[in-house]
Amino acid sequence: MEVKVYEGYNLEELIEKAKKELGEDIKILHYETIEEKRFFFLKGRKKYKLFVEPVEDDEPIEPVIKFEELLDKIEDIIDKKIQTTLPKYAQNMATPENLPPHIAPNTVEDKASKVLSELTGDALELANLLIEKDVQPEVAKKVVMAACGLDIDTNKWDLNTVTYKEALIKGIKENIKFTGAIDKIIEKPGIFAFIGPTGVGKTTNLFKIASQLVINKNKKVAVISTDTFKVGAAQQARTYANILNIPFYSISESKKLKNIIEDLKEMDFILIDTVGRSHYDYWRLGEIKEILTGIQQEIKNILTISCNFKNEDAFEVVYKYQTFFPIHSLFFTKIDETKKPGLLLNLPVETRIPVSYLSTGQRVPEDLKVLSPEVIASYILGE
């Protein structure tokens, strides 16, 4: 297929021109920004080069139908494979669809009452408070039990700490692993890939970390973007990189990524920004995995999860991504957009995946916290 190149000073006009000439169904492969040179102190105009591939509409119908049928069959095979290799926490997640027909799912209140039947006093109060924050009953019990002792009068478990926060911190330390800030990594360079669904804030939060490493830690940092699909994504990342005066690369091939990383071996950290993909889009997830393979150094994958996700959606994201990538840590975003941050406990307790960071807003680099038992306890209790 022939690739058409359009040059001009307005990216939107170039896209419209391509559509008029080639039809609405075009595939935007990539675009570049060129600063025209001027004399002395005069600033040059910004010029764009747009690479477009036309989509032919005269392809025979029969092969397309057969391909889609094959695609459906392959996706069914992948689904079955995922179900047989799910992590333990995912296998134990009962849904109305997989319950026997004569058993109706319990209400949240009934389920919580049964799960918490062994607790009493302040322990029961704290567990119910956690459930109000959208913490799952089993997780609430597990966390609270770590700070309990047996009450002789009732033969049930009650808190052995003075405050709820002390109990919660104790339970979090017992049940959640923490990586700390990524500058604790010893090997050089430390390579981290930020992966996750569309719209969770991967790019913004990657540059929050990059800013802290460069400004506060005086580290040598480079950023590589593999997001060549979304118009403006690479340009946004390049703008951040220019502000920090750090190397930035935009790539779409595994071989090119490998060569760039070899050239950046003197860096302290290499942060890779990946394209956002639905956790149900197996093909696109496979593309991301293919780009990241072939690198000799270990890539630590940080999975970004929005705190405003529903529990079931968040668990789906984790175990679908986990079938493609080894997850180094969970990075929680958009805590400022929810009043019920139960995911801060539910995901790490049930999946046993360590946690690293929490995004508290849009400001770069201020709105970022390294997760700790105290930080999670404060947000769960609404402090």
22-39: per-residue pLDDT in tens? 877 777 776 677 766 655
- For residue 48, the cross-strand partners are 8, 33
DSSP state of 308: T
Show the beta-strand stretches assigned E in the chain.
Answer: 4-8, 26-35, 46-54, 148-151, 156-159, 190-195, 221-225, 248-250, 269-273, 299-306, 327-333, 355-359, 368-370
> Would 77 be classed as within a structural domain?
no
Let me know whether 308 and 284 are in one domain: yes
Quote the pLDDT of residue 21.
84
Let me know whether 167 and 187 are in one domain: no
Let me know whether 277 and 129 are in one domain: no
Let me know whether 41 and 111 are in one domain: no
> Would 40 be classed as within a structural domain?
yes
C-alpha dist (Å) from residue 348 to 93, 137, 300: 15, 15, 17
Let me know whether 158 and 267 are in one domain: no
> Would 258 be classed as within a structural domain?
yes
Let me know whether 21 and 159 are in one domain: no
Quote the pLDDT of residue 3.
78
Give the HSE-up count for residue 296: Cα atoms under 13 Å, Cβ half-sphere: 7
Domain extent for 242: 183-380
What's the token pair of residue 266? 């003197």
Q: Is residue 334 over pLDDT 60?
A: yes
> Would 164 be classed as within a structural domain?
yes
Mark which of 175, 194, 209 sits at the end of a domain. 175
Specify the range with the lowest mean pLDDT, choosing from 132-146, 179-193, 196-210, 225-239. Answer: 225-239
Let me know whether 286 and 308 are in one domain: yes
Specify the range with the lowest mean pLDDT, choosing from 35-39, 49-53, 127-131. Answer: 35-39
Let me know whether 171 and 295 are in one domain: no
> Would 260 be classed as within a structural domain?
yes
> Would 16 be classed as within a structural domain?
yes
- Its pTM stands at 0.70
Let me know whether 157 and 239 are in one domain: no
Mark which of 175, 201, 229 sits at the end of a domain. 175
What's the token pair of residue 208? 């929050």
206-248 confidence digits (pLDDT tens): 999 999 999 999 999 999 988 755 555 667 788 888 999 999 9
Specify the range with the lowest mean pLDDT, choosing from 10-24, 238-252, 357-371. Answer: 10-24
Q: Please count the structural domains in the chain.
A: 3
Let me know whether 200 and 170 are in one domain: no
> Would 65 be classed as within a structural domain?
no
Distance CA 34, CA 32 (A): 7
Let me know whether 237 and 120 are in one domain: no
